[in-house]
Structure 1
Amino acid sequence: MNRWRGFLFILLAAFFLSACATGNEEEQETGNQDQTATESESGDEEAHEANDTSEEEVLVSLVNSEGEMVATATLTEGEAGVDIRLEGENLPSGTKGFHIHEEGKCETPDFESAGGHYNPTNAEHGFEHPDGPHAGDLSNIEVAEDGTVEEEVTAEMITLEKNGENTVYTDEGTALVIHSEEDDYNSQPSGDAGDRIACGVIGE
């Protein structure tokens, strides 16, 4: 009798251990599936966000009235707006107006195809105007006596996010323009900055 009781006890113990192991495997498999699903959903969200967010770095080539490349601009999304690093040569020396224009067209020789300043908020021109500035108004740049320029400015009112407010990626496109004279930050409609001497389409 004791032998049968012992044998029965062993069978019950084996069955109990087998059931526990199966349960643990099922829980582990369910956990792995949940984790995989979560990671997949997270990846999909990140991919979707990446499609809607800004370009990490946008390069713009600016040409003069003869179609010769005279400068390059690197645009990146910064904490205070879009940071623009401009490097160029063979430009007339002095203080020059520098703006983002409302049309992504740079037709030589006068670049009038670029339209006016980018102004989605319908503001007045100029940092010193009480109803300004345009979103496309930028700080003046300084071209050295040897015709070179190396400047960094920030466009605080625009974004590189394609679906963002005041994005540079409009249906018409946008362009960077260097002017022949200094922007006085007040005169309408473009700060009395003179002719357009260089132009480059953003995102082209």
Structure 2
Amino acid sequence: MAHSCRNRLAALGLGLLTLPGSALAADRLTGDLKGTDGASHGTVEVTEAPKGVILRIAATGLAPGWHGVHFHEKGNCAPPAFKSAGGHVHAHDVAKPVHGLLNANADDAGDLPNIHVGPDGTATVELYSTLVSFKGDGGRPALLDADGASLVIHARPDDYQTQPIGGAGDRAACAVLAQ
């Protein structure tokens, strides 16, 4: 976009959403989505918003159907089965987080809605979460704490109630989130 056009939009009080790589781009975390086979299965991008984060997933080579998705507490996707990612992101003062977007007592900040993978093994989705922030803003758990965070896609859908992970099963893909 031309500089003069930006100035005209600013004069009108209109904000700009800029593209990745732009000097005006919002704070972002990105990650390479790896499958249990070690191959790349897409990308993950997380953008900080005033009251949460916007998550964009572009995945390939996954099993068709519904899959649970969660923010995990460690920025580590080492084998076996990505157990190095730890549990779901949660407040540090919670000893045993309660899982489930449909659970009235839930305090598991890593919870996200399920995604659907098409018959061709691909999924492109954009989600919004008010449960986390990059640095702990608004009292929400931080994705950028001392040991980082990751995003995990599970083999089955999350039922949003069953403890501890909604019955989502094995970890099928993982992305370390980094700036």
The structure with the largest alpha-carbon Rg is 1
Deviations 1:80-123 (A, max 9, x none): 41000110111111000000011111012401111111111634
Q: Distance in 1 between matches of 2:165 and 2:127?
A: 18
Alpha-carbon spacing, 1:64–1:130, altered in 2? closer, same or farther (3 Å): same
Query: In the alignment, is the contact (CA less than 8 A) between 1:80 and 1:154 conserved in 2?
Result: no
User: Corresponding residue for 2:158?
Assistant: 183
Matched, 1:89 2:63: no
CA shift for structure 1 position 195: 0.4
The residue aligned with 1:74 is 45
| TM-score, normalised via structure 2 length | 0.78
Unaligned 5+ runs, structure 1: 1-54
TM-score, normalising length: structure 1: 0.69
Aligned mate of 2:71, from 100, 108, 111:
100
Structure with higher RCO (Cα < 8 A, 6+ apart): 2
1:141 corresponds in structure 2 to 115
Counterpart residue type for residue 118 of structure 1: V
Report how far residue 133 of structure 1 moved: 4.1
Structure 2: which 5+ runs fail to align?
Answer: 1-25
Is residue 66–residue 109 contact of structure 1 (8 Å, CA) maintained in 2?
no
Cα deviation code 1:9-61 (max 9, x no counterpart): xxxxxxxxxxxxxxxxxxxxxxxxxxxxxxxxxxxxxxxxxxxxxx6222111
Aligned to 2:100: 126
1:113 aligns to what SS in structure 2? Answer: helix
Would you tell me which structure has more helix in proportion to its own residues? 1
Return the letter of the residue paired with 2:111: D
Give the SS at the match of 1:85: strand
Q: Is the 8 A contact 1:127 1:133 kept in 2?
A: no
Give, in whole Å, the separation in 2 of the partners of 1:133 and 1:113.
22
Assess, with a 3 A threshold, how the Cα gap between structure 1 residues 169 and 128 changes in structure 2: closer, same or farther.
same
Matched, 1:167 2:142: yes
What secondary structure does 2:84 align onto? helix
Q: Which runs of 4+ in 1 moved over 6 A?
A: none
The residue type paired with residue 158 of structure 2 is D
Shift in Å at residue 67 of structure 1? 1.2
Find the aligned partners of 1:103 and 1:193 in 2 and give their Cα distance.
Answer: 19
